[in-house]
A and B are shown apart, each in its own frame.
Chain A
Amino acid sequence: MMNNLSVDHLTGIKDLTAEDIELIFKTADSFKEVINRPIKKVPSLRDITIANLFFENSTRTKLSFELAEKRLSADIVNFSASGSSVKKGETLVDTVNNILSMKVDLVVMRHPNPGAATFLSKKIGAKVINAGDGTHEHPTQALLDSYSIREKFGSVKGKKVVIVGDILHSRVALSNIYCLQKQGAEVMVCGPLNLIPKNMKDLGVKVSNNLKEALEWCDVANMLRIQLERQDETFFPSLREYAMLFGLNKGILDSLSKKIVVMHPGPINRGVEITSDVADSDQSIILQQVENGVAIRMAVIYLLASQIER
C-alpha cells in the first residue's frame, strides 16, 4: 500500500486521489481506536506547532481540529478574526507570515473567500489544511462524511448518496461530490432549482427537485443547512415553505421502501431541513460523524506532518 499522500497541503478534495482517501481512512481507523483508549493521546507530533486561523465563525470544526491536534501532542495557537489585526487592515499573507515567524509548522485555516487556502499554500512555507473556504471546499468534512458511510456500509463504492438543500452556497456539497465520486459512489443533489448550481450535470451528478423521489433512490441522505448568511438575495418565499418541500420528517422517512441512513454536517436547524425525531432517530448517524471528525482530522494532520523535514 502507498503510505504517503500525493499532495503537500489539503486545500480541497479535488486534488486528492482515491489512494490518498483510502490512506487517510486507514490511518483514521487507528486513531479512532486511540481516541477510545483511557488515555486518548499519542506523542507523535510533540515537536510540531499548529496555528488554527479562523477568519469565520465555527464551533464544531474548530473544536474538532483542536482536539485532534491536542491528541497528537502538537502545540497549538488559536486565532480568530474578531479581535485581531485583520480589522486594522492587515492582509491575509501578512497576518499569516507574522504568525509563521513564531515557527509554526502547519496552518489550519477557515476563511470566507473561496480559494483562500490554495492562495495561502502558495505563499507560505508551512503546511496548509483548509477548514472551509467560503462556498468552495471543506475537505475534512467530506472525508469524515465518507468515512462514516464506509463505517456504516463497509464501503463507499456503489452507494447512492443524495445531498439535499442549499447546494449553491455549500462547500460541504462540493467537497462531498468530489470525495464520493472518487470512491465510486453515485451522487444526486436535491433542492430548489435556484439553489442548485448549473455545473452539476457536468460533474456527473444527478439533479432532482422532488425530495420523495430522491430519497427513494438513495442509500444515504446528507441533509444540508440553508446558508442564510451567504445568501444575498431571497431564493425562496419562506423557511416554512422550504421545510414543507425539502425538510426531512419522520412521515417521509417511514414511507420509504427501505431504511436509509441520514447524515447532517451540522449545525442543525431543527424543524427546517430535518425534524427532531429524524435527527435523533436510529437511522441518523449525526453524532458518529462528529466522533469520526476527530479521527479523520488526526489522520490528515499526522500524514501531512510526516512530510515536514527539519
Chain B
Amino acid sequence: MEKQVILNDKHLELTLKRLCHELIETHNDFSETVIIGLQPRGIHVVQRIKEQLQNILKKEVTCGTLDITFFRDDFRRRETPLIPSVTNIDFSIENKNIVLVDDVLFTGRTIRSGLDALLSFGRPKGVELLVLVDRRFRRDLPIEANYVGKAVDTLLSERVSVEWAEIEGQDKIVLYSKENDE
C-alpha cells in the first residue's frame, strides 16, 4: 500500500478556515442555517468547522449529526449487515438552510441516502453540500458539492482517508494506492 499525503495539518487548517469564510459569505450569521454532519466521518469535519465559525462569528452555530444506514441502497448487497450510528437532530429543520457535511465525496450514493434521511425531519428551505475532498469524475449519481476543500483525481482502486488528531493522531488527508497498479 503506497501512501501519499494530499494535505498536511497546516494546509488542512487553512482549507477549513477558507471553507468557513465561504460559508459565511452565503449564510451570514447562520441564524437561518444549520450544519448537519453525516455519520460516521462527517461529524469530525463539522466539529472543526463549528469551532472555527464560532470563533469568527462569536455566536453559537446549530449543528447535528445524521446517520444514513437505513436509507442506503446496498442493504443486503453487502457481506455483513450495516450497523447504524447515532442521529442527533434535536432542532427543527423546517424552512432552514442546511449545509450537509461529509469528509469525502466519491460515488455520491452516501449523499443521496443522506438527502432522503434528512427529509424525514421535515422540509428544509434548501440543502447545500460541503466536503473536504472531492474525488472528481467518480460519481455514480448526478451530485456535486457547493463547497470543496480539495479536489483530487483518483483511481477506483485508491482510497482517500481524512485523518484527525483526536482519532488517528494527526490531522491530514492521505491517498492510499495499491502498489504496481495500472
The answer to whether the Cβ of A238 comes within 8 Å of any Cβ in the partner chain is no
Do A1 and B81 touch across chains, with their CB atoms under 8 A apart?
no
Query: Which of chain A's residues have a CB closer than 8 A to the CB of B69?
Result: 30
**Interchain residue pairs with CB less than 8 A apart (16):** A3-B81, A3-B83, A23-B83, A27-B84, A30-B67, A30-B85, A30-B86, A34-B87, A38-B122, A39-B119, A39-B121, A41-B120, A44-B72, A302-B70, A306-B75, A310-B76
Instruction: State how many residues of chain B have any CB contact under 8 Å with chain A.
Output: 21
Contacts of B67 in A (CB 8 A): 30
Which B residue's beta carbon lies closest to that of A45?
B75
Residues A4 and B87 in contact, CB atoms below 8 Å apart:
no
Is A87 an interface position by the 8 A CB rule? no
Task: Give chain A nearest CB distance to B172 CB in angstroms.
Answer: 27
Residues of B within 8 A of A39 (CB): 119-121
CB 8 Å contact bits of B101-138 with A (1 = contact, 0 = none): 00000000000000011011110000000000000000
CA distance A310 to B69 in the complex (A): 20
Measured CB to CB, the nearest residue on chain B to A33 is: B87
A sample of 18 more A-B contacts (CB under 8 A), given A3-B80, A42-B117, A307-B81, is: A4-B81, A27-B83, A30-B69, A30-B70, A30-B85, A30-B86, A30-B87, A33-B86, A37-B121, A38-B120, A39-B119, A39-B121, A41-B120, A42-B71, A44-B72, A306-B75, A306-B81, A308-B76
How long is the Cα–Cα vector from A18 to B27 in the complex, in angstroms?
49
- Whose C-beta in chain A lies nearest to the C-beta of B75? A44
Interface centre among A40, A45, A306 (most CB of B within 10 A): A306
Residue-wise interface mask of B (83-101) relative to A, using a CB-CB cutoff of 8 A (1 in contact, 0 not): 1111100000000000000
Complex Cα gap A26–B67 (Å): 14
Q: Which residues of chain B are near A38, meaning CB under 8 Å? A: 120-122
Which residue from A1, A3, A42, A307 sits with its C-beta under 8 Å from B70? A42
Flag whether A43 is at the interface (Cβ < 8 A).
yes
Question: Residues on B close to A: CB < 8 A?
Answer: 67, 69-72, 75-76, 80-87, 116-117, 119-122
A37 touches B76 (CB 8 A): no
Closest to A309 in B: B76
Contact of A43 with B76 in the complex, beta carbons under 8 Å: no
A305 CA to B69 CA in the complex, in Å?
Answer: 14
One digit per residue, 1 when the CB lies within 8 angstroms of any chain B CB and 0 when it does not, for chain A 10-46 equals 0000000000000100110110011001111111110
| A303 CB within 8 Å of chain B | yes
* A73 to B, closest residue via Cβ: B70
Contact partners of A30 in chain B: CB under 8 A: 67, 69-70, 84-87
Give the Cβ gap from B150 to chain A, nearest Cβ, in Å: 32
Chain A residue at minimum C-beta to C-beta distance from B123: A38
Question: In the complex, how many angstroms separate the beta carbon of A187 from the nearest chain B beta carbon?
Answer: 29
Q: Which of B67, B80, B120, B122 has the most CB of A within 10 A?
A: B120
Contacts of A26 in B (CB 8 A): 83
Chain A neighbourhood of B76, CB < 8 A: 305-306, 308-310
Q: How far is the CA of A37 from the CA of B69 in the complex (A)?
A: 15
When distances are taken between beta carbons in the complex, the residues of chain B under 8 Å from A41 are 120
Question: How far, in Å, is B123 (CB) from chain A's closest CB?
Answer: 10
Encoded as 1 (CB less than 8 Å from any B CB) or 0, chain A from 276 to 310 comes to 00000000000000000000000000110111111
Q: Assess whether A44 is in contact with B70, with CB atoms less than 8 Å apart.
A: yes
Q: Which residues of chain B come closer than 8 Å to A45, judged between CB atoms?
A: 75
B84 CB contacts on chain A under 8 angstroms: 27, 30
Chain B residues near A29 (CB, 8 Å)?
Answer: 86
Q: Closest A-chain residue to B67, C-beta based? A: A30
What chain B residues lie within 8 Å of A34 (beta carbons)?
70, 87, 120
| Whole-angstrom CA separation of A43 from B72 in the bound complex | 8
Q: How far is the CA of A43 from the CA of B119 in the complex (A)?
A: 12
Q: Bound complex: CA of A41 vs CA of B69, how far in Å?
A: 13
Measured in the bound complex, the distance between the Cα atoms of B116 and A101 in whole Å is 33
How far apart are the CA atoms of A34 and B86 in the complex, in Å?
10
Q: Which residue of B lies closest to A298 (CB)?
A: B70
Q: Which of A161-189 contact B (CB under 8 A)?
A: none
For A42, the chain B residues whose CB sits under 8 A away are: 70-71, 117, 120
Nearest Cβ on chain A to B41's Cβ, whole angstroms = 18
A23 and B85 CA atoms in complex are apart in Å by 13
Contacts of B122 in A (CB 8 A): 38
Closest to A42 in B: B70
Instruction: Verify B80–A4 contact, CB threshold 8 A.
Output: yes
How far is it, in angstroms, between the C-alpha of A122 and the C-alpha of B67 when the chains are bound? 36
Q: Which 10 A-B pairs have the closest CB atoms?
A: A42-B70, A30-B84, A306-B81, A39-B120, A3-B83, A44-B70, A37-B120, A44-B75, A33-B87, A3-B81
